Each structure stands twice: as C-alpha cells, then as structure tokens.
Amino acid sequence: MSLARDLEALAIDIAQDAGALARMRRQEGVAIAATKSALADIVTLADREVEALIRARLAEARPEDGFLGEETGAERGTSDVTWVVDPIDGTVNYAYGMPQYAVSIAAVIGEPVAGQWEAISAAVYAPALGEVFHAARGAGAWLGDQQLAVNAEVTPAGGLLATGFGYDPATHAGDLARVARVMPMARDLRRGGSAALDLAYVAAGRLDGYFERGLAPWDHAAGALLVAEAGGECTFIAGDDTNPRPLIVASSPSIFERLLQLSLDD
C-alpha cells in the first residue's frame, strides 16, 4: 500500500482511540484548564490528555516523524512527514456538551507550514456523531466506506455556506462584514463551531462552501485534504500587513472564485 494510504489507516486508528477518550471525559464532566488567546479561547484538561495520547501513539508508530499540535506545539522530525493535530476541534462545543467536535489528524510532507506543506493523509473523527471522515492523496475522500464528493452545482436559491468567528471580540466586526459581503450568494449560513467538520461537510456535500479567517494550522490541515480529494477547491491565504489572520475558503468548483473574491477583505 502507498505511504499515504498507510498513514491514513494509522490516522483513522489513532483518531478513533483519541475520540473515545474525549467522549469518555465529556461524559465524566469537562474541566476548563486555562484560557489562551482570549477569554473565549479555552482549553480543557481533555484537550491536553487527548493530544498526549495521540502524540504517544504517533511516536510509537512513527518515531522519526515531526509533530505540530494545538496544545503542545511543534517538534521537528527526521523524516519528511509531520503530523498536524487538533485533539478536540470545536473545543467550545465540547465544553458546552454539543456533539459538533472532532479529533483532526493530518500527515503532511515538506515544510510544516500551512500553505507550504502537502497534506497526504487525513482523519477527522466526530465521536459524539459516530462519523469518521478520511482521505489519502489520490485515493479519494470517504465517510467510513462511502466515497465523498462536493456538490457539483448549487441550487438557484444559492449556496448553503458556513463560516466562523475569532475568539478575539476585536475581530468580530471584520468577520461580520465578510458575512455581509458573502450573504447575497448564500441561501443560508451555518456556524458549526468546528472548522474540521465544516470542511468535512463541504467534502460530503452537506455544505456548498466554507470560509473563515483566523484559523490555526491544525484546524484545517486534515479538512482541506478531504475537500481536495472530494473534488472541491480549498485555498489557504496567509495573513499579511493588511490582515494578519489567514483565510481559508473551500467549496465546490462551481462557486469557488466568487466565494473567494467575496471572502477577501477590501
């Protein structure tokens, strides 16, 4: 089997064990461990425990690989592979007891920098929903054993789109202005709270498109590969002096250019 398929299988296996731990801790009750970039940006003890499990399993299976995780940061490896991990994407949903959270694990090759790496394997597991989205470069995107495809066309009513908002209240005006620019092409808007699941839903045709500024690399590393392998377009635009927050836009090809232009800030 190819490296991408081997790493996909490993990512699925570890994501399922990690997700089972996250779900068990959720049922036991969640403790907020700290806040990070803003009061709303929380980390739970489960985030830390789940990332530790993922990191240990990867170190055992692939000791030469690098790691980039939301809770424990970056460590260079000696191979060309880096694992980009969000132990619980949708942390606030998780803390509030909502089921829209996921373990997101991606294997990338090249420089471990968003926009420079090539993702080759991905697993996004939503334990409370019992869904495992996965992909290997060149082998398609899947929900379990069901192959995924983005919606080829959107309805005359417009696209069902999703977005998200930053933890920092100072970013909300810009985010809301972006929503106002995009709404004329939308039939409706969803704010699910997990970028990994928003991207997985674009790949599955449950959404026509998704756009968000301010994501961290681990939020989108796996989901972007799902979209690409499902026939969609997904672009990462790094932050700059005008807007330091990077932009992710993903959709079916039929609406991508229009969604990208409307998502970009004036």
- Residue numbers at the binding site for ligand LIP (CB under 6 A): 70, 86, 89-91, 164-167, 193-195, 212, 215, 219
For the bound state, the minimum distance from the C-beta of residue 2 to ligand LIP, rounded and expressed in Å, comes to 29
Nearest-angstrom CA–CA distance, 215 and 256: 19
Residue 5 or 48 with smaller CB distance to ligand LIP: 48
**What would the DSSP string read from start to end of the chain?**
--HHHHHHHHHHHHHHHHHHHHHHHHHH---EEEE-SSTT-EEEHHHHHHHHHHHHHHHHH-TTSEEEETTTEEE--SSSEEEEEEEEESHHHHHHT-S--EEEEEEEESSSSTTTSEEEEEEEEETTTTEEEEEETTS-EEETTEEP---SS-BTTBEEEEE---SSGGGHHHHHHHHHHHGGGEEEEE--S-HHHHHHHHHHTS-SEEEEES--HHHHHHHHHHHHHTT-EEEEE---SS--S-EEEEE-HHHHHHHHHHHS--
- Least distance from ligand LIP to the Cβ atom of residue 241, Å: 22
Nearer to ligand LIP, 19 or 166 (CB): 166
Minimal distance, residue 193 CB to ligand LIP, in Å: 6
Nearer to ligand LIP, 222 or 228 (CB): 222
Cα pseudo-dihedral 30, 31, 33, 35, rounded to 10: 70
Minimum distance from residue 90 beta carbon to ligand LIP (Å): 5
Tokens 């089921």 belong to which residue? 99
User: Which residue, 212 or 229, has its beta carbon nearer to ligand LIP?
Assistant: 212
For ligand LIP, give the closer residue by CB, 10 or 215: 215
* Minimum separation from the CB atom of position 92 to ligand LIP (A): 6
Q: Which is nearer to ligand LIP, 101 or 142 (CB)?
A: 101
The minimum distance between CB 173 and ligand LIP, in angstroms, equals 16
Please state the separation of Cα 259 from the chain's center in Å.
Answer: 19
Decide whether 159 or 193 has the Cβ nearer to ligand LIP.
Answer: 193
Q: Answer whether 236's CB lies under 8 Å from 230's CB.
A: no
Q: Residue 44 Cβ, how far from ligand LIP at the closest point, in Å?
A: 10
- Which of 243, 88, 107 is closest to 170 using CA atoms? 243
**Which lies closer to ligand LIP via its Cβ, residue 194 or residue 252?**
194
CB of 210 to ligand LIP, least distance (A): 9
